[in-house]
């Protein structure tokens, strides 16, 4: 074979490899390179119309008060403090007697992102408890999209405990250990980032991952944080600070003799080895810390994995708002499942309301 023939053969092989890689990226990594899909995902998760800056430096931002905002597929109504309330009143007749007052702490998962408040698990739990206890149940939903533990703990002091609840339900997600993301901060890439004159998905994927690494470095890799394989914090000064905020919150509730139930939630659980690694790195070390702090912990982890195994699911995408573009917030069916499990635990094994 002549030198020219070898060059042509090598060039053809390289071109074939690039074309194969290009096709693989377009198929396997569409959620990272498809500009239209990325734009739709960003628009679906954009909560900026709901928020404003806060005078409280620990909160940094807060939901807008007295809001009645109609968005595609859902409606958001807030009270004078900016906390989300039902858009329609509960069904009548209500049971007689003094109401059971339940406060909910969390972020977008308990706020009910992209769904009606009435279909979110806090209000579904209230309806189930009213029926089971034959007693009216009032809900103060102090969940705010994008809030992390430090902000949730502050809101507990400012809004929840002055309301004098009979019970606090805390919806915890592993991302709640992250630092505060201010509205407008660049923590995710623009959908067009990585677009190139060659219209190459492969090149876009490489560029986006390089840019995301640069974007992550200042905020999330400081202070020698250690992370799980999924990227969650599991050690370091910021993680310790979030644990301290949780302990402080539990102590405040204990001082007012208010039971606080916390459940650890993750919409992206996968069974098998992934679940084992996830449990070993994040879940198992966290639970005893929460119990020692004084939380009543509902261990949702094995319940979710058992449900997935029984249904033959490899992930929880059946309950996601959408898989493409990716939005792992639970849909109405997922919220109904969560409400049923949480209500059953409160009335049964949790020994909270029996």
Model confidence pLDDT, tens digit, residues 112-133: 999 999 999 999 999 999 999 9
Amino acid 231: pLDDT: 80
> Tell me: the pLDDT tens digits for 302-334?
999 999 999 999 999 999 988 877 788 999 999
Residue 23 placed within a domain: no
* N-to-C CA span, the chain: 85
Residue 353 placed within a domain: no
Residue 21 placed within a domain: no
H/E stretch holding 205 reads helix 201-220
- Taking the C-alpha atoms of residue 317 and residue 29, their distance in angstroms, rounded to an integer, is 17
Amino acid 186: pLDDT: 47
SS3 140: strand
Which residues lie closer than 8 Å to 40 by C-beta, 6 or more apart?
325
Amino acid 69: pLDDT: 92
Residue 122 placed within a domain: yes
Annotate 316-337 with DSSP letters as a single string: SGGGEEETTTTEEEE-HHHHHH
Annotate 33-63 with DSSP letters as a single string: H-HHHHHHHHHHH--GGGEEE-SSTTT-EEE
Amino acid 218: pLDDT: 47
Number of structural domains in the chain: 1
- Taking the C-alpha atoms of residue 230 and residue 322, their distance in angstroms, rounded to an integer, is 20
CA nearest to 330, candidates 342, 312, 346, 344: 342
Q: What is the pLDDT along the chain (354 residues), one digit of tens a residue?
A: 677 777 777 778 788 877 887 788 787 777 777 877 776 666 666 788 899 999 999 999 999 999 999 988 899 999 999 999 999 988 888 889 899 999 999 999 999 999 999 999 999 999 999 999 999 999 999 999 999 999 999 999 999 999 999 999 999 999 999 888 765 454 567 778 878 887 888 877 788 777 776 665 544 445 577 888 888 889 998 899 999 999 999 999 999 999 999 999 999 998 888 888 889 999 999 999 999 999 999 999 999 999 999 999 999 999 998 887 778 899 999 999 999 999 999 999 777 876
What CATH number has the domain bearing residue 159? 3.40.50.1110
Angle between helices 300-311 and 332-347 (to 10 degrees): 130
Residue 338 placed within a domain: yes
In sequence order, the β-bridge partners of residue 172 are: 264
Amino acid 188: pLDDT: 63
Residue 219 placed within a domain: yes
pTM (two decimals):
0.83
Residue 25 placed within a domain: no
Residue 107 placed within a domain: yes
User: What's the CA dihedral at 327, 330, 333, 334 to 10 degrees?
Assistant: 140
Domain range enclosing 193: 33-347
């Amino acid at each position: 074979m002549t030198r020219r023939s070898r060059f042509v053969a090598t060039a053809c092989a390289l071109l074939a490899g690039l074309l194969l890689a290009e096709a693989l990226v377009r198929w396997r990594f569409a959620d990272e390179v498809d500009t239209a899909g990325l734009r739709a995902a960003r628009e679906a998760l954009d909560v900026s119309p709901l928020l404003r800056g806060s005078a409280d430096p620990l909160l940094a931002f807060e939901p807008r008060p007295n809001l009645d905002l109609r968005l595609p597929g859902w409606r958001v109504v807030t009270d004078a403090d900016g906390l989300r309330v039902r858009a329609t009143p509960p069904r009548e007749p209500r049971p007689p007697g003094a109401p059971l007052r339940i406060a909910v702490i969390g972020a977008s998962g308990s706020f009910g992102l992209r769904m009606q408040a009435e279909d979110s698990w806090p209000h579904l739990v209230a309806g189930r408890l009213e029926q089971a206890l034959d007693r009216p149940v009032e809900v103060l939903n102090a969940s705010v999209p994008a809030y992390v533990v430090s902000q949730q703990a502050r809101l507990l002091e400012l809004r929840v405990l002055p309301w004098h609840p009979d019970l606090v339900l805390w919806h915890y997600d592993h991302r709640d250990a992250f630092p505060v993301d201010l509205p407008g901060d660049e923590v995710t890439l623009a959908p067009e980032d990585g677009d190139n004159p060659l219209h190459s998905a492969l090149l876009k994927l490489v560029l986006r991952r390089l840019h995301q690494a640069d974007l992550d470095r200042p905020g999330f890799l400081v202070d020698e944080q250690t992370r799980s394989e999924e990227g969650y914090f599991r050690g370091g000064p910021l993680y310790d600070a979030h644990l301290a905020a949780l302990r402080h919150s539990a102590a405040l509730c204990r001082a007012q003799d208010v039971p606080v139930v916390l459940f650890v939630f993750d919409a992206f659980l996968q069974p098998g080895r992934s679940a084992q690694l996830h449990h070993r790195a994040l879940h198992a070390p966290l639970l005893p810390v929460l119990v020692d702090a004084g939380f009543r912990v509902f261990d949702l982890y094995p319940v979710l994995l058992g449900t997935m195994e029984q249904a033959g699911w490899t992930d929880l995408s059946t309950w996601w708002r959408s898989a493409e573009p990716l939005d792992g917030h639970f849909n109405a069916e997922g919220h109904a499942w969560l409400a049923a499990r949480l209500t059953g635990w409160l009335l049964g094994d949790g020994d909270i309301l029996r």
